Structure 1
Amino acid sequence: MDIQHWSYLYPKLNISGLFKDSPCDFQVKEVLGYEPIGEGEHIYAWVRKTGLNTAFLAEQIAKYAKLPLRAVTYAGRKDKHAQTEQWFGIHLPGKTDIDWSNFDVDGAEVLKTIRHNKKLRTGVLKANHFKIRIKELTDTAGLEERLETISTLGVPNYFGEQRFGDTRYDPKGGNLVLAEKMIAGEPIRNRNKRSMAISAMRSWFFNEVIHHKIQNNTLTTPQLGDVMELAGSNSFFCVDEINDTLINRLKQRDIFISAPMWGAGNLPSKEAVLAFEESIASANKSVTETLESLGLKQERRAAHLYPTNLKWIIDNNTLTLEFSLPSGAFATSVLRELVNI
């Protein structure tokens, strides 16, 4: 389960740079998509964290609030090697608010709190906003043009390397090593590690499909039998006719060509697309059979990704970028089409 061979959508630029030299070089802010109403049995805490992973901070919040860990939730995990601002939900019915003045976790700061009447659930985010700095660029030739291209035409919606674990010590990433052990039948008793292994395995297969779609030029070119995902929705439909309406909806980013998030059940694709997806599944039978055995069901994910509100400054061999991505998308999928980091 290698991750080094996945194709680029555009010709690779011969530019390298220094990334994440400091957590402040990678800043992320959650965009919730709704406003907490100010009352209810859940406290929403807006927290800035630096150099901490989300699960660890949730444990510290639960400990400080003297609550079981299950009472603390978050909408999404954020990169440890970054400065992030995100929401944590704390279920505290019928109790007074928490005094955060003595909350002392190095790298964490509670910026504000507000009550809400619903639990903060995983995946409810609308988007994430990124501010990224890449320093010591070896060159800038072609960078401006590439940024313009990405702003207009987007990038493949690959799962980023963070999903697969630390690649500094193993080119596969530590989570994929765990996934291969799981495929071989070795039990993983740690619940968190098991979850990460399953997620990495499923994401790896999706990326394999994206790689092959780039190779055969079908990432953004619709085919009969493609499964289209409606923007901002889990709804989808199968293409039985390619017409001007379909092409225009793709251009307007109302719909996206999708690829499978593998699980048990029948693929919704048809014709040549079905044969294509089944061929990749057959070539990776140990992966797909393991995912099916775990009780996962067939789902879809957009194959293509557009960063919105993309802005940049190139100054003194430093690139500063700002853009937003929908929840679940990876900023590194944008960066890999720009710079070797």
Structure 2
Amino acid sequence: MNFDLNFPGLWTDSAPGIWRQTPEDFGVDELWTPPDSGGEHVLLHIEKRGQNTEWVSRNLARFCGVRDFDIGLMGLKDRHAVTRQWFSVYLGIRPEPDWSQLQIEGVAVLSVTRTQKKLRRGDHSGNAFKIWVRQVEGVHEQIDEKLSYIQANGFPNYFGDQRFGHDGYNLQRAHAWFVEGQKPKKKAHLGMYLSAARSYLFNEILAERVRRGDWSTMIDGDEGAPAASSVVSESTVPTGPMLGGPEFLSGTAGEIEQLRTASLSEWLTAIHKDGARTARRPFVAKPVDMSWQWAGDDIELTFSLGSGCFASVLLDQVFRLN
């Protein structure tokens, strides 16, 4: 089964451009303030260049002689980027290693301290981005107008393509599990495919609201929440379901949810059977401290997004990237 991942954006036209020519074109910093030092978990602030977060985590575990489970982190970060993020290491009775001897290609330890708790996914408030888009084709003033709109109003809070795997592979495996009974054997794959399926259903519902033009305004039956942001947001926006089964809102909003998921009812049954329960996610993501500047036909953008929001989705509203 094939899945269409071309979800509608704010505009039908987009400016061609190139990104990620080098890892330095895509910079990410986790937004998090470490607690007072002390505790049984080592807290590492790490910069990685051109490396996968999970690969770095596994190599940290090997270096420390601990289980993969003993490494904590707050979020997966892009491989083709320069990212600065936090890891925790539970050593137990093992002596703390000499961090100056850590040799992982593309990895540098920026600081070492201690913390009381293992880091968990989503503990941080968000991420700060500095991104270059190169060789942009388009009228700069028109691009500026679109970026100004996003700066003021936000953008559709879709899950990015990376959630779904190459060519939607994670969705294909989820479908094989839910419909054909081909349940993955590895626990990590179970979570990954389940997350991809629920994210796709959310995107389908949000896509319909974007087509209708009411993705950012409350309609009959909507359940509101603050916009997804790295800071406390005062505005109330509609939310969509991270479905744990056929659990929908009432009114027009609920009718849209049912309409967009009707063809995948077998998914809903399987997701509920696996133990997932419905939660809500804002339809609107709001960037913070957003600015941009041109250098010829290259543009540098800086902004912060809340945890779980995708910089690639913001860029996709304006640019058609390689």
The TM-score range, normalised by the shorter chain, is over 0.9
Q: CA deviation at 1:264?
A: 3.3
1:174 aligns with 2:169: yes
Identify the residue that residue 239 of structure 2 maps to in structure 1. 258
Q: CA deviation at 1:189?
A: 1.4
What are the within-5 Å matches in structure 2 for residues 126-145 of structure 1?
Answer: 126-141=125-140, 142-145=142-145
What are the superposed Cα offsets for residues 146-197 of structure 1, whole Å, 9 maximum, x if unpaired? 111110111100001111112xxx3xx2222222222322121133233221
SS in 2 for 1:78: coil
Mapped to 2, the partners of 1:265 and 1:37 lie a distance apart of 44
Count residues with an aligned counterpart.
Answer: 315
Q: CA deviation at 1:107?
A: 0.9
More displaced stretch, 106-115 vs 194-203: 194-203
What are the superposed Cα offsets for residues 111-145 of structure 1, whole Å, 9 maximum, x if unpaired? 11111112211111101001111111122341111
- 2:74–2:86 Cα contact (<8 Å) kept: yes
Identify the residue that residue 260 of structure 2 maps to in structure 1. 280
Q: CA deviation at 1:50?
A: 1.4
Please, which runs of 5 or more residues in structure 2 have no aligned partner? none
Q: CA deviation at 1:67?
A: 1.1
Identify the residue that residue 317 of structure 2 maps to in structure 1. 337
Q: CA deviation at 1:85?
A: 0.7
SS in 1 for 2:314: helix
Mapped to 2, the partners of 1:144 and 1:309 lie a distance apart of 16
SS in 2 for 1:114: strand
Identify the residue that residue 2 of structure 1 maps to in structure 2. 3
1:291 aligns with 2:271: yes
Identify the residue that residue 160 of structure 1 maps to in structure 2. 160
Q: CA deviation at 1:258?
A: 0.3
Q: CA deviation at 1:9?
A: 1.8
Identify the residue that residue 196 of structure 1 maps to in structure 2. 192
Identify the residue that residue 107 of structure 2 maps to in structure 1. 108
Identify the residue that residue 291 of structure 2 maps to in structure 1. 311
- 1:136–1:318 Cα contact (<8 Å) kept: yes
Identify the residue that residue 23 of structure 2 maps to in structure 1. 23
Please, which runs of 5 or more residues in structure 1 have no aligned partner? 234-251
What are the superposed Cα offsets for residues 73-118 of structure 1, whole Å, 9 maximum, x if unpaired? 1011111121111100111346553311111111111111111112
User: Cα gap change, 1:332/1:93 in structure 2, threshold over 3 Å: closer, same or farther?
Assistant: same
Mapped to 2, the partners of 1:231 and 1:340 lie a distance apart of 25
Identify the residue that residue 77 of structure 1 maps to in structure 2. 76
- 1:264–1:295 Cα contact (<8 Å) kept: no
1:221 aligns with 2:220: no
SS in 2 for 1:182: helix
Mapped to 1, the partners of 2:85 and 2:119 lie a distance apart of 11
Q: Percent same amino acid at aligned positions?
A: 29
Mapped to 1, the partners of 2:266 and 2:207 lie a distance apart of 19
TM-score calculated relative to the size of structure 2: 0.92
Q: CA deviation at 1:325?
A: 0.2
Mapped to 2, the partners of 1:263 and 1:312 lie a distance apart of 39
Identify the residue that residue 206 of structure 1 maps to in structure 2. 202
Kindly report the root-mean-square deviation, in angstroms, between the aligned alpha carbons of the 2 structures: 1.9
Q: CA deviation at 1:265?
A: 6.6
More displaced stretch, 287-296 vs 92-101: 92-101
Mapped to 2, the partners of 1:118 and 1:201 lie a distance apart of 30
Identify the residue that residue 118 of structure 2 maps to in structure 1. 119
Identify the residue that residue 324 of structure 1 maps to in structure 2. 304
Mapped to 2, the partners of 1:289 and 1:210 lie a distance apart of 21
Q: Which amino acid aligns with 2:194?
A: I
